[in-house]
Amino acid sequence: MVERILIFVAGLLAAAIVGVALFWQPEMPERPLPKAVIAAGGDFTLQSASGPVALQNYRGKLVLVYFGYTFCPDICPTSLAATAEGLKQLTPEELARVAMIFVSVDPKRDTPARLAEYVDFFHPAIVGVTGTPENIAEIAKRYGVFYAEQKVETAGGGYVVDHSADTFIVAPDGQLVGKMAHATPPDQVVVAIRKYLNQP
């Protein structure tokens, strides 16, 4: 009887150990953003110079998404240059599994052709897309992106667009998993990409 109880207890303990081994994940030093903070994200379809671009067609790739515009005097070039430098530090195998989408927050002025020329300047892996103002607004909302036109007399075209300058990270399964702050240095970009690229 005692033996049985002991065996039963031992069995329980063994099950507990197996359970812990399977389900307990020690906290990583750099936690992903808490779910409450992270926006929903999700799929979208917009227009590029070479036709429609749908996020859902990038399943299996890690996708960086940046919201900006081609008349952007300083913010976008700063961010895009840093991110592009990071992309250049990846191995060819890694780069083949990474994509980047530059979403225009200035659909009035940004044509697909203009966007293509702009993003190519930074890195060939970046595709520039735009859509109707309503379409862009809806996507920006889902990603938690703010943007607003500001009248500046000296700006080309009479206005600049203030916008959130984070780069969003969409995992190969399409989930929005994180974001990089404006002008994150190239080596940090590489760390962030590898972290999500190599997750099982």
Partner 1 sequence: MKQLSLLAASLMFSAGVLAGAADNVSVQDPYVRLAPPNAPATGAFMVIKNNGDKDVKVVKADNPVSKVTELHTHINDGGVMKMRPVPSIDIKAKGEAVLKPGSLHVMMIDIKTPMKEGDVVPITLSFDDGSTKQVDAKVVRPMAAPMPAAMEHKH
Return residues touching partner 1 (CB under 8 A).
30-31, 33-34, 37, 70-71, 73-75, 77-78, 80-82, 84-86, 114, 117-118, 121-122, 146-147, 150, 154-157, 160, 162-166, 179-186, 188
- Give the burial string for 31-43 (b: 16+ CB within 10 Å, else e): eeeeeeebeebee
Backbone angles phi, psi at 168, to 5 degrees: -85, 145
Among residues 52 and 156, whose Cβ is nearest to partner 1?
A: 156
> How far apart are CB 126 and partner 1 at their closest, in Å?
11
> How far apart are CB 107 and partner 1 at their closest, in Å?
16
The rounded distance, in Å, linking the Cα atoms of 179 and 171 is 11
The encoded tokens of residue 12 equal 């329980």
Backbone angles phi, psi at 71, to 5 degrees: -80, 0
> How far apart are CB 59 and partner 1 at their closest, in Å?
27
Among residues 45 and 197, whose Cβ is nearest to partner 1?
A: 197
> How far apart are CB 27 and partner 1 at their closest, in Å?
10
Among residues 82 and 136, whose Cβ is nearest to partner 1?
A: 82
Q: Shortest CA distance to 38 belongs to which of 191, 186, 179?
A: 179
> How far apart are CB 167 and partner 1 at their closest, in Å?
11
Among residues 15 and 155, whose Cβ is nearest to partner 1?
A: 155
Among residues 85 and 94, whose Cβ is nearest to partner 1?
A: 85
The encoded tokens of residue 157 equal 């075209």
The rounded distance, in Å, linking the Cα atoms of 148 and 142 is 16
